[in-house]
Amino acid sequence: MFDVVIVGAGPAGASAALFTAKAGKKTLLLDSDKGMTKRAWVENHYGVMEIEGPELVEIGQKQAAKFGAEVVQQAVTSIEKTENGFKIVTDNGDYEGKYVVFATGALTDVAASAGVATKEGTEPRIKTVLDVDASGKTNVEGIWAAGTCAGVSVHTIITAGDGAKVAINIISEINGERYVDHDVLKK
């Protein structure tokens, strides 16, 4: 049983996984390898002069794995509510998690079929997004969303930040108090 299962390992998902894993939460990061960032050239990401999208995604996933997130390349086909959380069904096996985070970019079908409310998107070419509150919660208890699928701008810097925000909010909920991840320089 994972504490947090994140569906989508682009900037939003990998950022969320980095924070949840670093906070000691057992984290699974599932990816179908269909993300928009895999086709991007990025020159507008703070702290990065320029980078190819596939490299940015690879680095993000490696950062999450560094802190203990399990990164698996599998497409999620459905999510089912269980007594203790959720059953995440993939094209190559099933997983269980207490919380689920959708970070699936333009793809909202699996979330919608799990009962997550949707609404019209506002970004160009993003027709449908998941309806979330300011913290990233959906209408389904235990399912959250981050990044473009949650109605956030498609820019990698913004989706990565949203993934971090949602992760901090989940960690805070699990811990029962506000969580802050604050590193200091190593001397």
Here the CATH number for the domain that contains residue 118 is 3.50.50.60
Residues of the chain with pLDDT under 70: none
Residue 21: predicted pLDDT: 98
pLDDT of residue 38: 87
pLDDT tens-digit map of 18-71: 999 999 999 999 999 888 898 899 999 899 999 999 999 999 999 999 999 999
- In this structure, is the dihedral angle defined by the CA atoms of residues 100, 46, 41 and 50, taken in order, positive or negative? negative
In a domain, residue 9? The reply is yes
Give the domain extent around 21. Answer: 2-175
Residues 36, 42, 45, 47: what is their CA dihedral angle, to the nearest 10 degrees? Answer: 130
Residues 6+ apart with CB under 8 A from 141: none
Cα 29 to Cα 70: distance, rounded to the nearest angstrom:
6
The answer to whether the beta carbons of residues 70 and 27 sit under 8 Å apart is yes
Q: What is the pLDDT of residue 34?
A: 87
Q: What per-residue confidence (pLDDT) applies to 44?
A: 93
DSSP-derived secondary structure for the chain: -EEEEEE--SHHHHHHHHHHHHTT--EEEEE-S--GGGG-EES-STT-S-EEHHHHHHHHHHHHHHTT-EEEE--EEEEEE-SSSEEEEETTEEEEEEEEEE--TT--HHHHHTT--EEE--STT--EEE---TTSB-SSTTEEE-GGGGT--S-HHHHHHHHHHHHHHHHHHHHTS----------
Question: Is residue 181 a part of any domain in this protein?
Answer: no
Length of the chain: 187
Amino acid, res. 113: S
In a domain, 133, yes or no: yes
The tally of domains found in the chain comes to 1
Torsion of CA 141, 113, 157, 49, to 10 degrees: 140
**Residue 113: per-residue pLDDT:** 97
Q: From CA 168, how far away is CA 162, in angstroms rounded?
A: 10
* Residue 182 counted as domain residue: no
Residue 186 lies inside a defined structural domain of this protein = no
